[in-house]
Amino acid sequence: MRPEKKYLVEEAKSRLSASDFLFLVNFTGVTVKAAAEFREALAKAGAQYHVVKNSIIALAAKELGLPDMSEVLAGPTGIVSGGEDAAAVAKAVVEFFKARENSEVKLGYFDGKLMNKAEVEYLGSLPSLPDMRAKFLSLLNTPASQMVRVLFVKMEKEGGAPAEAAAE
């Protein structure tokens, strides 16, 4: 392998392994101005966007032991990776590409599994990590008696009695 190509593969490997997740996107029709706005939105979530040649992505993914992505490596491809919160990054990706006609999310990789476009969109619809933490903390701050009352009301509406629920 030529030194130039080896450098590009190493660079792509660092992009692909920047976080536990990544998204491959088709950036057809994205202007330079829109790409700059996209990079700003991703930077807020701690992620980065880079355009990489498909053959380089395939080589880097193979060297990293990632699943085969060759089915989506056609046309212009960008890599979105980095950041701590996969849901926040997915939300930024989905929001940006929702308004673009020819551009779309090709696939995602999260927790050792390839994700299709619909799964990436679902991940983007989830609350961000800080939102989930805030909801959890508010739940912990709720008095226990209110939680028990809510559970009993729910059981009564479903037609079950508290004694039946305890027996189950």
Total domain count, the chain:
2
Per residue in 12-21, pLDDT tens?
888 888 888 9
**Exposure string over 130-140, b if 16+ CB within 10 A, otherwise e:** eeeeeeeeeee
Q: Are 67 and 144 found together in one domain? A: no
Single-letter amino acid code for the residue at 19: S
Q: Are 159 and 122 found together in one domain? A: no
Q: Are 121 and 155 found together in one domain? A: no
**Average pLDDT of every residue of the chain:** 85
Q: Are 27 and 89 found together in one domain? A: yes
Tokens linked to 129: 């990590």
Tokens linked to 65: 């032991």
Q: Are 91 and 137 found together in one domain? A: no
Position 126 scores a pLDDT of 85
Q: How far apart are the C-alpha atoms of 55 and 62, rounded to whole Å?
A: 11
Q: Are 72 and 122 found together in one domain? A: yes
Position 59 scores a pLDDT of 92
Statement: residue 89 has pLDDT above 70: yes
Statement: residue 160 has pLDDT above 70: no
Contact by Cβ (8 Å): 51, 77: yes
Statement: residue 161 has pLDDT above 80: no
* Nearest alpha carbon to residue 58 among 9, 4, 103: 9
Statement: residue 168 has pLDDT above 60: no
Position 154 scores a pLDDT of 86
Statement: residue 103 has pLDDT above 70: yes
Q: Are 44 and 102 found together in one domain? A: yes
Position 43 scores a pLDDT of 92
Single-letter amino acid code for the residue at 68: D
Q: Are 28 and 94 found together in one domain? A: yes
User: Which structural domain range is residue 143 located in?
Assistant: 131-167
Element (H, E) at 135: helix 129-141
Statement: residue 162 has pLDDT above 60: no
24 phi and psi, to 5 degrees? -105, 130
Provide the CATH number for the domain around residue 119: 3.30.70.1730
Q: Are 16 and 60 found together in one domain? A: yes
